Amino acid sequence: PVSRAEAVMKQLHWLTASEIRTAYLNKTLSPVELVEALLERVARHDPSINAFIRLDAEKVRADARRVRPPDRR
């Protein structure tokens, strides 16, 4: 059986902000990995739902590369 954490990590769009922070702290997920997964999902689904007027994927990727993981506190 797959744990909830394993299942959610395979479907990153379901992560809460708290889960994302924990994954960053544990180094099981990077901002770039999260952004790439979300951009892939947008590319797959947006043609049928037209949720975005404009999406600057390159800027999002650049921003993700600049993000520093949170400090452990």
Q: For residue range 50-66, what is the model confidence (pLDDT) as tens digits?
A: 999 999 999 999 999 99
Output Rg (C-alpha) for the chain, integer angstroms: 14
Q: What does the pLDDT look like over 17-43, one tens digit per residue?
A: 999 999 999 999 999 999 999 999 999
Q: How many CA atoms lie within 13 A of 18 on its CB side?
A: 1
State if pTM tops 0.85.
Answer: no
